[in-house]
Structure 1
Amino acid sequence: MFDLVLQGGRVIDPAQNLNEALDVAFAGGKVAAIGKDLGPAAETRDVSGKMVVPGLIDLHTHVYWGGTSLGVDPDDYARFSGCTTLVDAGSAGPGNIHGFRKHVIERSDVRILPFLNIAFPGIFGLHWEVSFGECSDLRLVNSRVCLAVAKEQADLIVGIKVRVGGGTSGALGIVPMQMALEVAEHMGLPLMSHLDAPPPPRSEVMKLMRGGDILTHCFRPFPNAPAAADGSVEQDVLDARARGVIFDIGHGRGSFGFETAMAMLKNGFLPDVISSDVHLTSIGGPAYNMLVTMSKFLRMGVPLNEVIRASTINAASAVRVQDRGTLKPGLLGDATILEMERGKFTFMDVVGETLDSDEQLACRGIVLGGKWWHG
């Protein structure tokens, strides 16, 4: 007997090329079967008229709640955003990853996969009234210590994070990224690089990135935008994609613009991953959450199947985990139940431009580890 069966929903699983009405069964914490008229279960949920997708993965979040100024509560956020895995984008560094693990990650229901910040204290100075770039002072960036802690926490961390730009690395420019890249190379892990306004220029960052590294805030507005003045895609961005660099949205409070996004989409340049960059100062807008960010791409004409792909299997692949991102039997029993909510919605980017829409994705249930978690 199955533990749980989701009955009558439209299963959308791009990794398996599924987009049809099917039942999904769970047992022992894993996906057990997908098909029609599945056998008896201890619990059956009728999800007719709704979409059943692999558990959503938000690749860029900040959920070291209580340990950093920008953190939000992971379980609360996951419940209303429909996420089963939250990738924390470097909230903690070598000096406080242990606390993040013990006091938040191990105590949360939702799955949390952290990047380790190259800066010793992580992102410690981001608040409504305070903004201090953790990579602007070389005394806070020690690659030897970062490598030692990365090895110690190798069972937990999924990559190395660095923030560079005028507001984050300041006069040090590209130097913290070079140091972070060296640690990532020694660990055999991807680097996730934040890029805000110059310096350094986007082209200097792009040329350092390797295949499998992640550029977050990839559709940021001018300056350092990936789209040229004539609407074309900058050549260094095209070259990076050809090398296998992963392009992640990371919306946040200052890192996503409709003008940039529509120029990139017009050129057929879709993001590899859609993520929210949710934190203290973006959860109340303009990012809000994963579902709002996904809905913005639907409004800009990206097909639903591709939006789901960029929020599930592509995100899992970016952090090199193979046990989630799809509803393939034998993998983690994580699923999100979605519904297209009709109404009047206004979406805003980080510079105040808006798009009106008559639909938005809404979470109607979450299965975590094969059990009904929220709905």
Structure 2
Amino acid sequence: MGAPVEGTAGVRGNRDFDHELIDDAPALAARDPGGMLRAVASAGAQVREAAALTAETDLSQLGEEGRPRAVLVVGAGTAARSGDILATIAGPKCLVPVLTHRSVEVPGWIGAADVVIAVSASGRSPEALASAEAAGRRGARLVAIGAPDSPLQGLAERFRAPYVGIPRRGPARANLWGLTVPVLLAARTLGLVKVNEADLAETATRLDLEADRCRPTAESFVNRAKTLALNLAGSVPVIWGDSPLAHVAARRFGDMLAANARYPVVTDALGEAGRGNVGLLDGVFGALAEAERDIFADPDEDGATGSPQRLKIVLLCDGGLADEDAAQSSDRRAAVVQEIAERRGVDVGVVTAEGGSALERLASIVSAPDFASVYLGLGHGLDPMAVPAVTELKEKLRKA
């Protein structure tokens, strides 16, 4: 067996999930020294703070030259998710292409007719810096979003572009809403989305409500985040979203499960599941695993934990599709997939969106999964704040 990887001591966690821990709030706090649960619970406050900070920034120059040829949101990880959210909120009827770019290689087509929104929680990501530099040199309209007093702010000031400074609290993945709100408001200035103050207020309130529902002191039988974590423990999660909005939420859930709980995850749009991914239900983690399962096995006896890992399906259901035919088709697809999965012995959980605006509905199906990913990691004895492999990768790349 190889030697332990340097820097991973104390964060290895346990193979088995500690079910009793989930309803022990003091024990949860002890296993979360970095305060990831607190960071996730700050989502509503992030919306309000980011809206206020963006209002203090003069974005008028963005709209002075009229409709752009294209809008490019540049960033990596959570910063890039803000671009995905913008594209989804803008929708297919948007007259301007809204694209998300995740590479340091700047697209050659960016020019004076375009708008570049560079996003980085730290203000240091190579992707955001490279595109902001190129946008400034090529005469494109630029707006940048990130940590105050960072290299990205310096670039924005150099090109006299607006900069929204968002204080960083915890890792970037815990700052989704702080990064997303300025992106949406910049797009509103361009006339691409209709996100008003009431939408933001209702979204913040929804996030506060979900944080209260999912708080550590709320027991698992009334806490849908804890229930979700308990259902996913020891499984291979497959997350499908039934609409473009829910698909973004599914990918976000995959990000959080990988980082906070170190779980491998399959995410996709429910409409794409029938074109390949639904075949997982008949594989070694689906129907074949069920066929090999000994229903008389005692899970507490030695060897029982060696049974095949199982798929667990989570359907994120938006329920807010404007097209009635599309909504009915989505509902039918979700019901059929659930029936097919359960017939093969694969559990299916459903998280349904609540709220009026698209942004509020998104918040309602992002919040509980965010909390669930943290509870899942804590149940395995992992510190969600510490991701040694990510830190090691960044350090080695920086040295290279």
TM-score by length of 1: 0.29
Higher helix share: 2
**Higher share in strand:** 1
TM-score when normalising by structure 2: 0.28
